[in-house]
Amino acid sequence: MAMAEKLKHPLAGTKMRGADMIIQIMADEEVDTIFGYSGGAILPTYDGIFQWNARNPKQRINLIVPANEQGAGFMAAGYSRVTGKVGVSLVTSGPGATNSVTPIRDAMADSIPMVLVCGQVARVAVGTDAFQEAPVFNIMSACAKHVFLVKDETELEATVRTAFYLARSGRPGPVVIDVPKDVQNWEGVFQGEGLLPLRGYQQRLDNMSEARISKDKAREFFDLLKASKRPLIYAGGGVINSNASAELRKFAHDYQIPVVTTLMGIGAIDTRDELALHMLGMHGMAYANYAVDDCDFVFAVGARFDDRVCAVPSQWAKRAKVAHIDIDRAEIGKVKKVDWAHVGDVKLSLQDLLAAGKSVKLDTVAWLKHVQEMKARHHLNYNRDSEIIQPQAVLDLVNEITKGDAIVTTGVGQHQMFAAQHFDFKDPRTFLTSGSMGTMGYGLPSAIGAQVGAPGKLVIDVDGDGSIRMNLGEMETCTTYDLPVKILLLNNLGDGMVVQWQTLYYQSRYSGTDKSLHAKDFVKSAEADGFKFAKRVSKQEDLKKTIEEWLAFKGPAFLEVMVDKNAFVYPMVGPGMAYKDMITGPYIEARDKAPEEIRLDTSSAF
């Protein structure tokens, strides 16, 4: 009995408003920052933040107010991805909620844990087309991991607590709570505990936690691995979500297996590691894609074989047996047929395999020699003789200074792929981008969220002139909260990635992509938003010195670099194409074709 009393919430039995219950549970969930924009239907909960901070000065909840609710959602996502915690966004009804649809779908597609709390009109007005009413439940149900509409005020407390549990458990994702204004104003007794019943979901979670890899199943895995001569690890975002980077790196080094990563898996292994082949896929490294073509065993870890990686499943790693670990059963065999699979947490699964395979020895010396030769021969390259600044050169210079220690966010487009290719990343949770949804405008607000989540780190938003326009209002958010985000705008006066496709596949018909006639002066915009460092570079000789000044500046800093509009992203595997059809462009050496038989030179050690 004494133990039960000890564990009881100190405020259990206290009468409080629904809005105060929401904030109390957020505090219990260790929420230290909320990103959101106020409005009529959510005012009680915003008042709850004010009152919480007045009562708890040592456990204040920071409130970051964006220019737009979409920005709030992406800030919450950036915060979540850097910290590993659940990001929180708080918006009003109607347009506040609908402006949040894109970040919710984006978080769902990339498995980012978030909770979005939306105000809603009072219950008596729901369904009457009341002022700022929107059918949030209907809209968000197709976009989120789960959506709650709180109809019974007595279930509010359990609903909010359950939302956090759902967001972080299993395969992470965003959960939406639609809270009518009268439920926020309702007064009731705070219980201090309790979740909504989740029988089916909880049973699946319990089964998953119990589904450890048995000795027999591990033996089957290692039989496949030992039979291979050219094994390859294919790591995705699930490695990072599961905090399994240490286990992945140990596995790769214990068995000396090279690693390719998805866009979302960047940072799972240090990109400077001799076993790292960096990113594969549509704009992956040529040697990474060649390694997929050449391997005879693929170990897919927390990756889902999406179309940007595996557009032609029958041709992808066609020489290889495939083993797959993922937390989501739906991903197993969905795209690529597998020879061995396990549904479970990546971290625990790798720990089980490492424990079971302590005595396993592989001879991958010749394969690693082959891989290293491909890395040397088919490395990234670009036009180094042009008088026009090349975007790749800009990122190489930044990378020389940051040395893999920066947190890098991006918008979407060519600059996104250039950043993925040309930056080094020592650690997980340091490359933030919109992967599956490919949402332009993601870079700047996610950088703000990342900076809030990692206040002592260097955070760089690599953006494009098209992408940054989408959430340009968030530049003011940087200065409002004195967040030292470094914005790097690579301006090619156009929507570069679409231009690239129009050039290659639409006979250079540039419909809707030319920005050269736009009058936007981004430097003046930055200055108007309070940036004390706002510069533009258009000459090669000014580039290095200005980059050094920009990175060294203590506060928010904006740098625009005018770059070559004809600098395309290579390698490129066209839509619906196999890796054998990869275009390496004019500066990256290609091999004629994948050899019919892989002969490995065993004469010298790696």
pLDDT at residue 206 in the model: 86
pLDDT at residue 603 in the model: 55
- Whether the pLDDT of residue 3 is over 70: the answer is no
Taking only the tens place, the pLDDT of each residue in 339-379 is: 999 999 999 999 999 999 999 999 999 999 999 999 999 99
pLDDT at residue 207 in the model: 84
Contacts of 213 (CB under 8 A, 6+ apart): 221, 342, 344, 349, 352, 353, 356
The Cα angle at residue 507 between residues 502 and 510, in degrees rounded to 5: 45
pLDDT at residue 6 in the model: 60
DSSP 555: S
pLDDT at residue 2 in the model: 44
- Whether the pLDDT of residue 4 is over 70: the answer is no
pLDDT at residue 594 in the model: 65
Query: How far is residue 349's CA from residue 262's CA, in Å, rounded to a whole number?
Result: 19
Strand partners, 17: 187
Q: What percent of the chain has pLDDT over 70?
A: 98
pLDDT confidence bin for 1, thresholds 50/70/90: very low
Query: How far is residue 323's CA from residue 337's CA, in Å, rounded to a whole number?
Result: 9
Contacts of 528 (CB under 8 A, 6+ apart): none
In degrees to the nearest 10, what's the CA dihedral of 361, 366, 370, 375?
Answer: 50
Domains of the chain: 2-207 (3.40.50.970), 212-377 (3.40.50.1220), 391-566 (3.40.50.970)
Taking only the tens place, the pLDDT of each residue in 506-556 is: 999 999 998 887 889 999 999 999 999 999 999 999 999 999 999 999 999
Could you tell me which of 281, 305, 283, 224 has the C-alpha nearest to residue 257? 224
pLDDT at residue 7 in the model: 81
- The answer to whether 459 touches 409, Cβ cutoff 8 Å, is yes
Taking only the tens place, the pLDDT of each residue in 419-441 is: 999 999 999 999 999 999 999 99
Instruction: Indicate the SS3 state at residue 603.
Output: coil
Query: How far is residue 214's CA from residue 564's CA, in Å, rounded to a whole number?
Result: 55
- The answer to whether 585 touches 571, Cβ cutoff 8 Å, is yes
Q: How much is the average pLDDT of 173-202?
A: 96
Taking only the tens place, the pLDDT of each residue in 105-161 is: 999 999 999 999 999 999 999 999 999 999 999 999 999 999 999 999 999 999 999
Catalytic residues: 69, 131-132, 181, 497
Strands 15-17 and 114-120: unpaired
- Whether the pLDDT of residue 324 is over 50: the answer is yes
Strand partners, 562: 491
The Cα angle at residue 178 between residues 177 and 180, in degrees rounded to 5: 135
pTM score? 0.95
